[in-house]
Structure 1
Amino acid sequence: MTRSVWKGPFSETRMPKKNTKKIGLRIWSRRSSTSPELVGCYAQIYNGKIFIRSEITNEKVGHKSGEFASTRKTSRTTKIKKNNKVR
């Protein structure tokens, strides 16, 4: 279910300050929508353990900030040992 149009997009982020392009804006709220004012800024999005650095571009406007910081680890595949013994 989507958010009502009359409510507008949800955003907990503060407006960026002057040096935000270099330092970055820390975002703990993964449910916040990115706004057009943040285009060109760097954001550090919290994934539950560490902050993931991401640059906000025009393509990311309107999406949730949690979409850009994955919370899952990549799985490692185990190597199968070959048994060269002949029976």
Structure 2
Amino acid sequence: MSRSSWKIPHIILNLENSDRTINRTIIYQRMTTITPRLIGQTIYVFNGLKPIPIKVTEHHVGFKFGAFALTKKRAKIATLKKR
């Protein structure tokens, strides 16, 4: 299901206007939309435990930052040993 067309994307303006020489920009709002101006930057997204680095490419544009910083670990399924 896609997002309604009347809702505008959530964008942090300070992030777009910031200098690209900043080494560590941490985003705490995972619902922020990735814009074309962020291509080539490395943004750190906080997942609740630690910041996860994300190198923004043109394929990330339009997605949310939260889609690339998972908050839960994958479940490990134990293999059954033969007796």
Number of residue pairs aligned between Structure 1 and Structure 2: 80
| TM, length-normalised to structure 1 | 0.75
Match of 1:75 in 2: 75
| TM, length-normalised to structure 2 | 0.78
Aligned-pair CA distance for 1:80: 3.4
**Letter paired with 1:71:** T
> RMSD of the TM alignment (CA)?
2.0
Q: How far apart in 2 are the matches of 1:13 and 1:79?
A: 48
What secondary structure sits across from 1:58 in the alignment? Answer: coil
Q: How far apart in 2 are the matches of 1:18 and 1:76?
A: 39
Identity over the aligned pairs, expressed in percent?
28
For structure 2, the residue ranges without an aligned partner over 5 or more in a row are none
For structure 1, the residue ranges without an aligned partner over 5 or more in a row are none
Q: How far apart in 1 are the matches of 2:20 and 2:26?
A: 15
On the 8 A contact 2:42/2:55 being kept in 1, the answer is yes
Larger of the two Rg values belongs to structure: 1
Question: 1:8-87 counterparts in 2 under 5 A?
Answer: 8-12=8-12, 14-15=14-15, 16-20=18-22, 23-83=23-83
Runs of 4+ in 1 over 6 A off after TM superposition: none
